[in-house]
Structure 1
């Protein structure tokens, strides 16, 4: 794939900014961690972290809040990346919180909203003071409000009024004991930027990001697939279709899109023509209310 000079310069600038952020955090904080699910954005974070500290090892652990409803291909990919690069992975299993009564299974079967408590408990128990996430401003309105360094209070909550100015790429990491900072190196990237960079750097991703045949059923305008989260309902017809996933997460609320894009170049062409973000098109949990994401962020979610 050949990029124009403008596209190349844009990717170079985004990469440089992200690497600067990683190094800034390494200098300012004592116990940073990278949230890593095996999805494309968190995989890109790991790739950039490896670049930022090469030839030294990445000085941060990885943390995955595992709902237990993930796609098997993604979990296998996650473990392969960790083993290949000698990284340290901490996994918080939502099922553990359900088993001991700290969480209760939802009637609708989705576990995405249940991630917040295990995330905050893990941050507190490991004393993480900076938490990298792969959120981007183009994904969703609440994330568009987020600073690159986002202060969270002692309860892990996001308070929009406490957002700090970030002039001239100067980041304020000051926080009180018990507080922590969420860090978003991909804030200024778009979905198309991500895919162009994946193509340029030849970054491997889970196979479900590319077109494949799968049994799916239609719910709320999205193609969902059967899994431990339940479904389909009696009135929902299962069909064999050629689909791919634009984003990955809890299988109960992450939909697929009809697609024949089986290569990076074909995915880039598809994304360039799309008028919906990947979350807007395929994440049912963002459709619960107009402010669903912002409400969850205020509770401690990413």
Structure 2
């Protein structure tokens, strides 16, 4: 593939690492560091491309042994069926243990209330934080990257959360020379981001190089969608479309995967990895900026959610 060849270092040194090799090495180091420092780590796994790459890295980091972490998914009840099918198939394939925190169960129990706009993405925080506390997870891996959004750009690789799972930017610790401080008090935990220094393009080039399987919604396909706030949203039980919003069938794909009510598709004819990579390389909008309605609630929407316990 041309995408793989482009990753080769421009040097005669046979021991020089390519750009993707360097990112992979850093992520593997972080995964192994957590395994050595913490007692009950867990990988947040949504079935999206970043968590898929993170799981792939964990499998490589500890091979031939099984990975020493279980998986955790916050199920909003409005997830894409293709992604849930991929999640369950992956868990079965590798014999992994999956914890599920269900937003629907919290709504049914009266602990959460549906929002007027139908989106459940902001409702994930309480089920997530209570599952972390109930299972006593002391380190939680997330697939967040600094290129996605400005609040994520200023977060450390090891991000300390207090006993209420809240994030205080003023309590961040220095990480000089790739030294990570996992010390935490009882009740606190650390969010860990092995892909912090990756870009969306890096992720796709790595997927191509490693031949990683993805849910089919990441590639161009026909889907019934409607326009809202400059995005193509999928029609569904979550409350869309409203009166005056017309459903049409378009050739689209998804750059990021989240709750159906706030994750927009993009017009695309990219059906192969090379086509997707060419599309991403030409884009001037981040995936979240282009396709995530939950980040448009305010200028500080992501940071506000992170302070409350969101990833």
TM above 0.5: yes
Which residue of structure 1 aligns with residue 216 of structure 2?
A: 207
Which residue of structure 2 aligns with residue 271 of structure 1?
A: 280
Which residue of structure 2 aligns with residue 226 of structure 1?
A: 235
Which residue of structure 1 aligns with residue 9 of structure 2?
A: 6
Which residue of structure 1 aligns with residue 207 of structure 2?
A: 198
- Measure the CA separation in 1 of the matches of 2:224 and 2:85: 20
Contact 2:83 2:215 in 1 (8 A): yes
Which residue of structure 1 aligns with residue 110 of structure 2?
A: 101
Is the partner of 1:181 in helix, strand or coil? strand
- Deviation, structure 1 residue 164: 0.4
- Measure the CA separation in 2 of the matches of 1:162 and 1:35: 23
Contact 2:59 2:67 in 1 (8 A): yes
Contact 2:43 2:71 in 1 (8 A): yes
- Measure the CA separation in 1 of the matches of 2:287 and 2:78: 19
Report whether the alignment pairs 1:64 with 2:67: no
Can you list the C-alpha shifts for 1:171-229, whole angstroms capped at 9, x where unaligned?
00000000000000000000000000000000000000000001110000000011121
Can you list the C-alpha shifts for 1:229-278, whole angstroms capped at 9, x where unaligned?
12111101111110000001000000000000000000000000000010
Which residue of structure 2 aligns with residue 149 of structure 1?
A: 158
Aligned pairs, how many? 302
Is the partner of 1:104 in helix, strand or coil? coil
Is the partner of 1:243 in helix, strand or coil? strand
Which residue of structure 1 aligns with residue 147 of structure 2?
A: 138
Which residue of structure 2 aligns with residue 80 of structure 1?
A: 89
CA RMSD of aligned residues (A): 0.8
Report whether the alignment pairs 1:23 with 2:32: yes
- Measure the CA separation in 2 of the matches of 1:98 and 1:231: 19
- Measure the CA separation in 2 of the matches of 1:152 and 1:119: 13
Is the partner of 2:18 in helix, strand or coil? helix
Segments of 5+ residues of structure 2 without an aligned counterpart are: 11-16
Which residue of structure 2 aligns with residue 158 of structure 1?
A: 167
**Which stretch of structure 1 is more off in the superposition, 182-191 or 7-16?**
7-16
User: Which structure 1 residue ranges, 4+ long, deviate > 4 Å from structure 2?
Assistant: none
- Measure the CA separation in 1 of the matches of 2:148 and 2:9: 23
TM-score, normalised to structure 2, is 0.96
Segments of 5+ residues of structure 1 without an aligned counterpart are: none
TM-score, normalised to structure 1, is 0.99
- Deviation, structure 1 residue 6: 3.4
